[in-house]
Protein backbone atom coordinates (compact mmCIF):
# COMPACT_ATOMS: atom_id res chain seq x y z
CA UNK A 1 0.00 0.00 0.00
CA UNK A 2 1.03 3.59 -0.63
CA UNK A 3 0.14 6.81 1.13
CA UNK A 4 1.13 10.45 1.02
CA UNK A 5 3.90 11.26 3.52
CA UNK A 6 2.43 13.02 6.53
CA UNK A 7 2.95 16.75 6.25
CA UNK A 8 2.95 16.93 2.46
CA UNK A 9 0.43 19.50 1.22
CA UNK A 10 1.29 19.10 -2.49
CA UNK A 11 1.68 22.86 -2.93
CA UNK A 12 2.36 23.21 -6.63
CA UNK A 13 2.28 25.48 -9.65
CA UNK A 14 0.78 24.30 -12.90
CA UNK A 15 1.28 26.30 -16.05
CA UNK A 16 -0.91 26.49 -19.15
CA UNK A 17 1.89 25.88 -21.62
CA UNK A 18 2.72 22.27 -20.78
CA UNK A 19 2.10 19.13 -18.75
CA UNK A 20 4.93 19.55 -16.27
CA UNK A 21 4.38 21.15 -12.87
CA UNK A 22 6.60 22.27 -10.04
CA UNK A 23 5.85 21.02 -6.56
CA UNK A 24 7.12 22.22 -3.19
CA UNK A 25 8.25 19.45 -0.84
CA UNK A 26 7.08 20.58 2.59
CA UNK A 27 9.36 18.08 4.36
CA UNK A 28 12.67 18.59 2.55
CA UNK A 29 12.21 22.12 1.18
CA UNK A 30 13.13 20.82 -2.27
CA UNK A 31 11.27 21.81 -5.41
CA UNK A 32 10.46 19.01 -7.84
CA UNK A 33 9.77 19.21 -11.57
CA UNK A 34 7.10 16.56 -12.14
CA UNK A 35 5.25 15.24 -15.13
CA UNK A 36 1.53 14.72 -15.41
CA UNK A 37 1.72 11.06 -14.39
CA UNK A 38 3.47 11.84 -11.11
CA UNK A 39 0.95 14.55 -10.30
CA UNK A 40 -1.90 12.14 -11.04
CA UNK A 41 -0.51 9.58 -8.59
CA UNK A 42 0.03 12.19 -5.88
CA UNK A 43 -3.48 13.60 -6.24
CA UNK A 44 -4.89 10.09 -5.98
CA UNK A 45 -2.95 9.45 -2.78
CA UNK A 46 -4.03 12.81 -1.41
CA UNK A 47 -7.52 11.33 -1.30
CA UNK A 48 -6.33 8.34 0.68
CA UNK A 49 -4.01 5.29 0.64
CA UNK A 50 -4.04 3.03 -2.42
CA UNK A 51 -2.35 -0.14 -3.59
CA UNK A 52 -0.27 -0.65 -6.73
CA UNK A 53 -3.16 -2.03 -8.76
CA UNK A 54 -5.47 0.87 -7.90
CA UNK A 55 -2.77 3.40 -8.76
CA UNK A 56 -2.07 1.70 -12.08
CA UNK A 57 -5.78 1.85 -12.92
CA UNK A 58 -5.99 5.54 -12.02
CA UNK A 59 -3.02 6.34 -14.18
CA UNK A 60 -4.25 4.29 -17.10
CA UNK A 61 -7.63 6.03 -16.95
CA UNK A 62 -5.90 9.43 -16.94
CA UNK A 63 -3.93 8.37 -20.03
CA UNK A 64 -7.04 7.31 -21.94
CA UNK A 65 -6.70 3.62 -21.04
CA UNK A 66 -3.40 3.08 -22.85
CA UNK A 67 -1.06 0.52 -21.28
CA UNK A 68 2.05 -0.34 -23.23
CA UNK A 69 4.07 -3.47 -22.30
CA UNK A 70 6.31 -1.48 -19.94
CA UNK A 71 3.45 0.30 -18.20
CA UNK A 72 3.58 -1.64 -14.92
CA UNK A 73 7.36 -1.30 -14.70
CA UNK A 74 7.18 2.42 -15.38
CA UNK A 75 4.54 2.99 -12.72
CA UNK A 76 6.60 1.03 -10.19
CA UNK A 77 9.66 3.11 -11.01
CA UNK A 78 7.67 6.32 -10.67
CA UNK A 79 6.35 5.27 -7.27
CA UNK A 80 9.88 4.46 -6.14
CA UNK A 81 11.07 7.85 -7.33
CA UNK A 82 8.29 9.69 -5.50
CA UNK A 83 9.14 7.67 -2.40
CA UNK A 84 12.81 8.65 -2.70
CA UNK A 85 11.68 12.29 -2.64
CA UNK A 86 9.82 11.65 0.66
CA UNK A 87 6.57 12.59 -1.04
CA UNK A 88 4.95 9.18 -0.51
CA UNK A 89 5.71 6.04 1.48
CA UNK A 90 4.77 2.39 1.32
CA UNK A 91 3.28 0.58 4.28
CA UNK A 92 1.78 -2.79 5.19
CA UNK A 93 -1.80 -2.94 6.34
CA UNK B 1 17.09 66.05 -1.88
CA UNK B 2 20.83 66.54 -1.85
CA UNK B 3 22.81 64.30 -4.22
CA UNK B 4 26.42 63.15 -4.14
CA UNK B 5 27.22 65.66 -6.91
CA UNK B 6 26.41 68.54 -4.53
CA UNK B 7 29.46 67.64 -2.46
CA UNK B 8 32.84 68.99 -3.58
CA UNK B 9 35.44 66.19 -3.86
CA UNK B 10 37.26 67.25 -0.70
CA UNK B 11 33.98 67.48 1.23
CA UNK B 12 32.99 64.01 0.02
CA UNK B 13 36.34 62.55 1.14
CA UNK B 14 36.12 64.30 4.50
CA UNK B 15 32.57 63.05 5.15
CA UNK B 16 33.42 59.49 4.08
CA UNK B 17 36.44 59.42 6.38
CA UNK B 18 34.36 60.86 9.22
CA UNK B 19 30.66 60.36 9.88
CA UNK B 20 30.04 58.72 6.49
CA UNK B 21 27.46 59.41 3.81
CA UNK B 22 23.99 57.91 3.73
CA UNK B 23 23.59 56.77 0.14
CA UNK B 24 20.15 56.03 -1.31
CA UNK B 25 20.11 53.24 -3.87
CA UNK B 26 16.47 52.59 -4.67
CA UNK B 27 14.64 51.24 -1.64
CA UNK B 28 17.77 50.96 0.50
CA UNK B 29 19.89 53.45 2.37
CA UNK B 30 23.49 52.51 3.11
CA UNK B 31 25.81 54.37 5.47
CA UNK B 32 29.18 54.32 3.72
CA UNK B 33 32.42 55.15 5.47
CA UNK B 34 35.87 54.98 3.90
CA UNK B 35 39.32 56.50 4.32
CA UNK B 36 40.37 55.32 0.83
CA UNK B 37 40.70 57.78 -2.05
CA UNK B 38 39.66 55.24 -4.71
CA UNK B 39 36.29 54.76 -2.98
CA UNK B 40 35.68 58.50 -2.74
CA UNK B 41 36.67 59.01 -6.36
CA UNK B 42 34.47 56.15 -7.56
CA UNK B 43 31.49 57.43 -5.60
CA UNK B 44 32.01 60.96 -6.88
CA UNK B 45 32.14 59.76 -10.49
CA UNK B 46 29.55 56.97 -10.60
CA UNK B 47 27.13 57.92 -7.84
CA UNK B 48 26.87 61.65 -8.58
CA UNK B 49 23.10 61.45 -9.18
CA UNK B 50 22.22 59.41 -6.12
CA UNK B 51 20.33 61.05 -3.25
CA UNK B 52 21.89 61.42 0.17
CA UNK B 53 20.08 60.91 3.43
CA UNK B 54 21.04 61.94 6.94
CA UNK B 55 24.18 60.14 8.09
CA UNK B 56 22.87 59.98 11.67
CA UNK B 57 19.49 58.62 10.59
CA UNK B 58 18.50 54.99 10.07
CA UNK B 59 20.34 53.07 7.35
CA UNK B 60 19.54 49.56 6.15
CA UNK B 61 23.22 48.68 5.86
CA UNK B 62 26.53 49.99 7.15
CA UNK B 63 29.51 49.55 4.84
CA UNK B 64 32.99 50.44 5.99
CA UNK B 65 35.96 50.22 3.61
CA UNK B 66 39.12 51.16 5.42
CA UNK B 67 42.84 50.74 5.10
CA UNK B 68 44.03 47.63 6.91
CA UNK B 69 45.90 48.41 10.10
CA UNK B 70 49.44 47.61 11.23
CA UNK B 71 52.26 47.21 8.71
CA UNK B 72 49.71 47.11 5.90
CA UNK B 73 49.21 50.85 6.30
CA UNK B 74 52.62 51.36 4.72
CA UNK B 75 53.53 48.19 2.82
CA UNK B 76 51.33 46.22 0.40
CA UNK B 77 48.38 48.42 1.37
CA UNK B 78 45.04 46.70 1.63
CA UNK B 79 41.38 47.55 1.95
CA UNK B 80 39.23 45.83 4.53
CA UNK B 81 35.43 45.66 4.32
CA UNK B 82 33.31 45.40 7.38
CA UNK B 83 29.55 45.43 7.66
CA UNK B 84 28.05 46.45 10.98
CA UNK B 85 31.34 45.51 12.64
CA UNK B 86 31.73 42.11 10.97
CA UNK B 87 34.36 41.41 8.29
CA UNK B 88 32.99 38.66 6.05
CA UNK B 89 35.82 38.79 3.50
CA UNK B 90 39.61 38.83 3.43
CA UNK B 91 41.28 42.19 2.73
CA UNK B 92 42.16 43.04 -0.87
CA UNK B 93 44.88 45.23 -2.42
CA UNK B 94 43.89 48.84 -1.95
CA UNK B 95 43.77 49.33 -5.74
CA UNK B 96 40.65 47.11 -5.71
CA UNK B 97 38.83 49.27 -3.17
CA UNK B 98 36.10 50.53 -5.50
CA UNK B 99 35.26 47.09 -6.97
CA UNK B 100 35.23 45.84 -3.38
CA UNK B 101 32.73 48.58 -2.52
CA UNK B 102 30.45 47.37 -5.31
CA UNK B 103 30.80 43.73 -4.28
CA UNK B 104 30.12 44.61 -0.66
CA UNK B 105 26.96 46.50 -1.61
CA UNK B 106 25.79 43.43 -3.55
CA UNK B 107 26.63 41.19 -0.62
CA UNK B 108 24.65 43.33 1.83
CA UNK B 109 21.50 43.08 -0.27
CA UNK B 110 21.82 39.45 -1.34
CA UNK B 111 22.49 38.25 2.20
CA UNK B 112 20.00 40.43 4.05
CA UNK B 113 17.16 41.76 1.90
CA UNK B 114 14.78 38.82 2.25
CA UNK B 115 11.65 40.87 1.72
CA UNK B 116 12.23 40.02 -1.95
CA UNK B 117 13.14 36.94 -3.94
CA UNK B 118 16.63 37.84 -5.17
CA UNK B 119 17.70 36.46 -8.54
CA UNK B 120 21.25 36.67 -9.82
CA UNK B 121 20.20 38.51 -12.94
CA UNK B 122 20.24 41.84 -14.68
CA UNK B 123 16.87 43.48 -15.27
CA UNK B 124 15.90 46.30 -17.60
CA UNK B 125 12.60 47.93 -18.45
CA UNK B 126 10.94 49.66 -21.38
CA UNK B 127 7.37 50.89 -21.85
CA UNK B 128 6.42 49.55 -18.46
CA UNK B 129 7.64 45.97 -19.02
CA UNK B 130 10.74 44.39 -17.48
CA UNK B 131 13.08 41.86 -19.04
CA UNK B 132 15.05 39.74 -16.58
CA UNK B 133 18.42 38.36 -17.70
CA UNK B 134 19.57 35.54 -15.42
CA UNK B 135 22.96 34.16 -16.27
CA UNK B 136 26.03 32.57 -14.75
CA UNK B 137 29.30 34.50 -14.96
CA UNK B 138 30.77 34.65 -18.42
CA UNK B 139 27.54 34.45 -20.37
CA UNK B 140 27.56 38.09 -21.42
CA UNK B 141 24.73 39.24 -19.14
CA UNK B 142 26.32 42.51 -18.06
CA UNK B 143 27.54 43.31 -21.56
CA UNK B 144 24.03 42.82 -22.89
CA UNK B 145 22.59 44.82 -20.00
CA UNK B 146 24.95 47.73 -20.66
CA UNK B 147 24.12 47.69 -24.36
CA UNK B 148 20.36 47.71 -23.71
CA UNK B 149 20.71 50.57 -21.24
CA UNK B 150 22.77 52.52 -23.77
CA UNK B 151 19.88 52.17 -26.21
CA UNK B 152 17.21 53.53 -23.89
CA UNK B 153 16.12 50.65 -21.64
CA UNK B 154 15.79 51.69 -18.00
CA UNK B 155 18.35 50.06 -15.74
CA UNK B 156 16.65 48.37 -12.82
CA UNK B 157 19.72 46.35 -11.82
CA UNK B 158 22.86 44.86 -13.30
CA UNK B 159 23.29 42.07 -10.78
CA UNK B 160 20.37 41.55 -8.41
CA UNK B 161 16.79 41.25 -9.62
CA UNK B 162 14.53 41.96 -6.65
CA UNK B 163 11.13 40.28 -6.96
CA UNK B 164 8.68 41.63 -4.40
CA UNK B 165 7.11 38.74 -2.48
CA UNK B 166 3.52 39.96 -2.41
CA UNK B 167 2.96 40.72 -6.08
CA UNK B 168 6.14 39.72 -8.00
CA UNK B 169 6.74 43.29 -9.16
CA UNK B 170 10.39 44.15 -9.76
CA UNK B 171 11.92 46.52 -7.23
CA UNK B 172 14.70 48.62 -8.81
CA UNK B 173 18.24 48.67 -7.47
CA UNK B 174 20.02 50.71 -10.15
CA UNK B 175 23.74 50.85 -9.49
CA UNK B 176 26.82 50.96 -11.72
CA UNK B 177 27.07 48.16 -14.28
CA UNK B 178 30.06 45.89 -13.72
CA UNK B 179 32.03 44.86 -16.81
CA UNK B 180 34.97 42.50 -17.03
CA UNK B 181 37.90 42.00 -19.34
CA UNK B 182 37.02 42.16 -23.04
CA UNK B 183 33.50 43.43 -22.40
CA UNK B 184 34.97 46.74 -21.21
CA UNK B 185 36.31 47.51 -24.68
CA UNK B 186 33.18 46.14 -26.34
CA UNK B 187 30.91 48.57 -24.51
CA UNK B 188 33.34 51.48 -24.83
CA UNK B 189 33.09 51.03 -28.61
CA UNK B 190 29.34 50.36 -28.64
CA UNK B 191 28.37 53.18 -26.29
CA UNK B 192 31.14 55.81 -26.28
CA UNK B 193 29.01 58.28 -24.31
CA UNK B 194 28.75 56.03 -21.25
CA UNK B 195 30.88 57.03 -18.24
CA UNK B 196 33.42 54.42 -17.12
CA UNK B 197 35.45 54.05 -13.96
CA UNK B 198 39.16 53.50 -14.32
CA UNK B 199 39.74 49.75 -15.00
CA UNK B 200 41.14 47.81 -12.07
CA UNK B 201 43.42 44.91 -12.94
CA UNK B 202 44.30 41.59 -11.32
CA UNK B 203 41.06 41.11 -9.41
CA UNK B 204 39.74 37.57 -8.97
CA UNK B 205 37.46 38.35 -11.91
CA UNK B 206 40.30 39.74 -14.05
CA UNK B 207 40.12 43.39 -15.08
CA UNK B 208 36.93 45.11 -13.99
CA UNK B 209 35.41 48.50 -14.67
CA UNK B 210 32.07 50.03 -13.78
CA UNK B 211 29.69 52.02 -15.95
CA UNK B 212 27.63 54.85 -14.50
CA UNK B 213 23.89 54.19 -14.38
CA UNK B 214 21.88 56.73 -16.43
CA UNK B 215 20.52 59.60 -14.36
CA UNK B 216 17.02 58.81 -15.61
CA UNK B 217 17.27 55.28 -14.19
CA UNK B 218 18.46 56.62 -10.83
CA UNK B 219 15.66 59.19 -10.77
CA UNK B 220 13.07 56.40 -11.16
CA UNK B 221 14.67 54.12 -8.58
CA UNK B 222 11.50 53.91 -6.50
CA UNK B 223 9.28 52.99 -9.46
CA UNK B 224 8.61 49.25 -9.57
CA UNK B 225 8.08 47.43 -12.86
CA UNK B 226 5.87 44.66 -14.20
CA UNK B 227 7.91 41.61 -15.26
CA UNK B 228 7.19 40.37 -18.78
CA UNK B 229 10.15 38.33 -20.04
CA UNK B 230 12.90 36.15 -18.63
CA UNK B 231 15.73 35.82 -21.14
CA UNK B 232 18.71 33.55 -20.51
CA UNK B 233 21.41 35.09 -22.70
CA UNK B 234 24.42 33.36 -24.15
CA UNK B 235 26.96 35.23 -26.25
CA UNK B 236 28.52 33.08 -28.97
CA UNK B 237 30.90 34.88 -31.35
CA UNK B 238 29.48 34.93 -34.84
CA UNK B 239 26.19 33.28 -33.92
CA UNK B 240 22.97 34.33 -35.60
CA UNK B 241 20.39 35.49 -33.07
CA UNK B 242 18.03 32.78 -31.87
CA UNK B 243 15.24 32.96 -29.33
CA UNK B 244 13.92 29.62 -28.06
CA UNK B 245 10.89 29.48 -25.79
CA UNK B 246 11.31 27.62 -22.49
CA UNK B 247 8.30 25.80 -20.99
CA UNK B 248 7.24 27.63 -17.86
CA UNK B 249 7.78 24.77 -15.42
CA UNK B 250 11.35 24.32 -16.68
CA UNK B 251 11.91 28.09 -16.57
CA UNK B 252 10.81 27.97 -12.93
CA UNK B 253 13.57 25.48 -12.15
CA UNK B 254 16.21 27.45 -14.07
CA UNK B 255 15.35 30.67 -12.25
CA UNK B 256 15.28 28.93 -8.86
CA UNK B 257 18.84 27.77 -9.52
CA UNK B 258 19.80 31.40 -10.08
CA UNK B 259 18.10 32.79 -6.97
CA UNK B 260 20.24 33.59 -3.93
CA UNK B 261 17.53 33.14 -1.32
CA UNK B 262 14.99 30.82 -2.93
CA UNK B 263 15.57 28.01 -0.42
CA UNK B 264 15.73 30.41 2.53
CA UNK B 265 12.32 31.86 1.66
CA UNK B 266 10.75 28.36 1.53
CA UNK B 267 6.98 28.59 0.78
CA UNK B 268 7.18 32.35 0.18
CA UNK B 269 9.93 31.89 -2.37
CA UNK B 270 7.99 29.12 -4.12
CA UNK B 271 4.90 31.32 -4.29
CA UNK B 272 6.77 34.42 -5.47
CA UNK B 273 8.59 32.51 -8.18
CA UNK B 274 5.36 30.87 -9.29
CA UNK B 275 3.76 34.28 -9.61
CA UNK B 276 6.75 35.59 -11.54
CA UNK B 277 6.81 32.66 -13.97
CA UNK B 278 3.06 32.84 -14.45
CA UNK B 279 3.36 36.51 -15.44
CA UNK B 280 6.23 36.07 -17.88
CA UNK B 281 7.46 34.20 -20.94
CA UNK B 282 10.95 32.70 -20.83
CA UNK B 283 13.54 32.17 -23.53
CA UNK B 284 17.03 30.93 -24.19
CA UNK B 285 18.72 33.60 -26.29
CA UNK B 286 21.89 33.15 -28.32
CA UNK B 287 23.50 36.11 -30.02
CA UNK B 288 26.75 37.06 -31.65
CA UNK B 289 26.28 40.79 -32.23
CA UNK B 290 24.86 43.46 -29.95
CA UNK B 291 22.83 45.11 -32.73
CA UNK B 292 21.08 41.77 -33.33
CA UNK B 293 20.31 41.56 -29.63
CA UNK B 294 18.87 45.07 -29.62
CA UNK B 295 16.53 44.14 -32.47
CA UNK B 296 15.35 40.96 -30.75
CA UNK B 297 14.64 42.78 -27.50
CA UNK B 298 12.84 45.60 -29.31
CA UNK B 299 10.51 43.04 -30.85
CA UNK B 300 9.76 40.83 -27.84
CA UNK B 301 6.05 40.06 -27.86
CA UNK B 302 4.16 42.12 -25.33
CA UNK B 303 2.02 40.14 -22.88
CA UNK B 304 -1.71 40.85 -22.58
CA UNK B 305 -2.47 43.90 -20.47
Pick the residue from chain A with its C-alpha nearest to B273.
Answer: A13
Among the ranges given (B100-104, B136-140, B196-200), the one the predictor scored with the smallest mean pLDDT: B136-140
Point out the residue among B249, B263, B267 whose CB comes nearest to the CB of A22: B249
Question: What is the helix (H) or strand (E) element at residue A4, kind and residue range?
Answer: strand A2-4
Residues A13, B301: Cα–Cα separation, whole Å = 24
Query: Does the ipTM surpass 0.95?
Result: no
Query: For residue A66, is pLDDT > 90?
Result: no
> Do the chains contact at A20 and B249, CB–CB below 8 Å?
yes
Mean pLDDT confidence for B223-244: 96
Grade residue B135 by pLDDT with cuts at 50, 70 and 90.
confident
Q: Which of B74, B100, B73, B70 lies closest to B87, judged by CA?
A: B100
What is the number of CB-based contacts under 8 A between chain A and chain B? 42
For A21-52, write each residue's pLDDT tens digit.
Answer: 999 999 999 999 999 999 999 999 999 999 99
CB contacts of A29 in chain B (<8 Å) are 263, 266
pLDDT of residue B185: 97
pLDDT of residue B1: 83
pLDDT of residue B73: 62
Q: Which of A20, A31, A55, A53 lies closest to A41, judged by CA?
A: A55
Query: For residue B230, is pLDDT > 70?
Result: yes
Residues A29, B1: Cα–Cα separation, whole Å = 44
For B238-257, write each residue's pLDDT tens digit.
Answer: 999 999 999 999 999 999 99
CB atoms within 10 A of CB B121: 25
Q: Helix, strand or coil for residue A14?
A: strand
> Do the chains contact at A15 and B248, CB–CB below 8 Å?
yes
> Do the chains contact at B263 and A24, CB–CB below 8 Å?
no
Among the ranges given (A14-18, B160-164, B293-297), the one the predictor scored with the smallest mean pLDDT: A14-18
Mean residue pLDDT of chain B comes to 94
CB contacts of A7 in chain B (<8 Å) are none
Mean pLDDT confidence for B92-111: 94
Point out the residue among A15, A16, A24 whose CB comes nearest to the CB of B267: A24
Q: Helix, strand or coil for residue A70?
A: coil
Grade residue B71 by pLDDT with cuts at 50, 70 and 90.
low
> Do the chains contact at B274 and A13, CB–CB below 8 Å?
yes
Q: Which of B247, B249, B272, B283 to mutate to probe the A interface, most A CBs <10 Å?
A: B249
Phi-psi region of B55 (alpha: psi -120 to 50; beta: other; left: phi over 0): alpha
Amino acid sequence: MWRLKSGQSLQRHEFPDGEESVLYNALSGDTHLLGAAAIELLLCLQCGPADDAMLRDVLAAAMDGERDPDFDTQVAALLDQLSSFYLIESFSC
Amino acid sequence: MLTVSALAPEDLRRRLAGPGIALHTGAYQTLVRSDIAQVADGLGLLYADYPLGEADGFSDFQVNLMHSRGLRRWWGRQVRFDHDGHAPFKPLPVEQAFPMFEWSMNWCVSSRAHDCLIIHAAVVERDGLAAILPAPPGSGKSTLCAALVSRGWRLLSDELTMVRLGDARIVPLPRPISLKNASIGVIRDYAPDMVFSRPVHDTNKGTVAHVKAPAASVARALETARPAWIVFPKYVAGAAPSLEAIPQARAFMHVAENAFNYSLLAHDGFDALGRLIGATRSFHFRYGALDDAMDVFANLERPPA
